[in-house]
């Protein structure tokens, strides 16, 4: 006689299924990670020797087949910085309005729908909008300003959505506590909601930056130049940019040494990875300090 705790056929079958699904999902996950590993591995191997100090600090020379990426690096910093200056205040303000002031009516729902749809617009369409609006209509010409504003419009929905989520993560009971003591909306936002959501908002902003760094389409027609070995002196100048530079030396310029595009690509990925790590570290740090 078997005891009441011994294995039945059904147990055996369930355990077999258990192992099977664990293996299956594990394998699928592994295949997903694989491309990332291969990409980064290839970049490291193929860019061998290109990432020197001079690579980051010198101008490209000899038809962009030699020298460094200094103007593109600086140009990307300009583009990202100006885009941030434009999109963060607007996006955060809009998110505060939507989360803290707007009543839940058809207009608010329409605005939310518009934001979601805006996030789905392909970047090349944003590029064309940027040409029409900023380059031509506002007459900024092809310039850092036009390119950055185009990127700002493109990333606005992301900033709005991530900021709104951070604001919503602050428990409603805190707001009620404030209101019930006679705090206005703004006093509540300023003294309680913002201090407790700023970490999430900043994390969102950093992620936005990392996305902006790699964008090519929206700056291609609006302000990024193929080859311009000078640093911009104002936002009305054109500039080189990392993403476009990579595109140009990989497809448009003959006789580029093989290591060069890989070096540029690796640099781009490194910038993004550093930013993402900062963002994750930040979030982890602040989660540890969470006060409720």
Binding mask 141-180 for other proteins (x = CB under 8 A): ------------------------------x-xx-xxxxx
Residue of 42, 184, 252, 277 interacting with other proteins (CB under 8 A): 184
Distance CA 115, CA 120 (A): 9
Q: How far is the CB of 112 from other proteins (least distance, A)?
A: 16
Kindly tell me the burial class for residue 130, based on how many C-beta atoms sit within 10 Å of its own C-beta (0-12, 13-18, 19 or more).
buried
Q: How far is the CB of 196 from other proteins (least distance, A)?
A: 6
Residues 88-107 binding other proteins (CB under 8 A) are: 103-105
Give the nearer residue to other proteins in terms of CB position, either 44 or 110. 110
Give the nearer residue to other proteins in terms of CB position, either 174 or 236. 174
Give the nearer residue to other proteins in terms of CB position, either 138 or 179. 179
Q: How far is the CB of 95 from other proteins (least distance, A)?
A: 19
Residue of 74, 128, 183, 269 interacting with other proteins (CB under 8 A): 183
Residues 262-291 binding other proteins (CB under 8 A) are: 291
Taking alpha carbons only, the member of 20, 73, 102 closest to residue 213 is 73
Distance CA 9, CA 24 (A): 23
Give the nearer residue to other proteins in terms of CB position, either 190 or 230. 190
Contact 150, 129 (CB under 8 A): yes
Taking alpha carbons only, the member of 51, 166, 54, 182 closest to residue 100 is 166
Is 128 a residue that touches other proteins (CB under 8 A)? no
Q: How far is the CB of 105 from other proteins (least distance, A)?
A: 6
Q: How far is the CB of 244 from other proteins (least distance, A)?
A: 45
Residue appearing with tokens 């090349």? 124
Q: Cα-atom radius of gyration of the chain, to the nearest Å?
A: 25
Q: How many residues bind other proteins (CB under 8 A)?
A: 21
Beta strands in the chain (DSSP E): 60-61, 66-67
Contact 164, 204 (CB under 8 A): no
Q: Is 119 left (phi over 0), alpha (psi -120 to 50) or beta?
A: alpha
Give the nearer residue to other proteins in terms of CB position, either 120 or 288. 288
Contact 62, 129 (CB under 8 A): no
The site for other proteins (CB under 8 A) is made up of 103-105, 171, 173-174, 176-184, 187, 191-192, 196, 291-292
């Amino acid at each position: 006689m078997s005891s009441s705790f011994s294995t039945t056929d059904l147990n055996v079958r369930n355990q077999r299924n258990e192992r099977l699904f664990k293996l299956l999902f594990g394998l699928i996950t592994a295949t997903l990670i694989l491309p990332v590993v291969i990409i980064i591995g290839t970049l490291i191997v193929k860019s061998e020797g290109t990432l020197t100090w001079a690579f980051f600090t010198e101008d490209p020379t000899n038809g962009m087949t030699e020298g460094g990426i200094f103007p593109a690096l600086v140009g990307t910093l300009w583009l990202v910085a100006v885009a941030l200056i434009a999109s963060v205040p607007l996006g955060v303000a809009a998110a505060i309005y939507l989360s803290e002031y707007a009543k839940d009516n058809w207009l608010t729902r329409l605005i939310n729908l518009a934001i979601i749809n805006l996030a789905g617009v392909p970047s090349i369409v944003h590029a064309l909008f940027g040409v029409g609006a900023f380059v031509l209509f506002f007459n900024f010409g092809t310039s850092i300003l036009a390119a950055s504003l185009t990127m700002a419009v493109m990333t606005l929905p992301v900033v709005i959505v991530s900021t709104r989520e951070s604001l919503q993560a602050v428990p409603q009971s805190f707001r009620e506590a404030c209101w019930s003591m006679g705090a206005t909306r703004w006093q509540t936002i300023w003294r309680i909601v913002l201090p407790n959501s700023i970490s999430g908002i900043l994390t969102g902003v950093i992620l936005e930056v990392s996305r902006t760094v790699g964008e090519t389409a929206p700056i291609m027609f609006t302000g990024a130049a193929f080859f311009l070995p000078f640093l911009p002196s104002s936002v009305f100048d054109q500039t080189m940019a990392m993403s476009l530079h990579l595109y140009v030396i990989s497809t448009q310029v003959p006789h580029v040494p093989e290591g060069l595009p890989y070096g540029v690509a690796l640099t781009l990925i490194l910038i993004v990875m550093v930013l993402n790590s900062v963002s994750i570290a930040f979030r982890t740090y602040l989660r540890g300090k969470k006060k409720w």
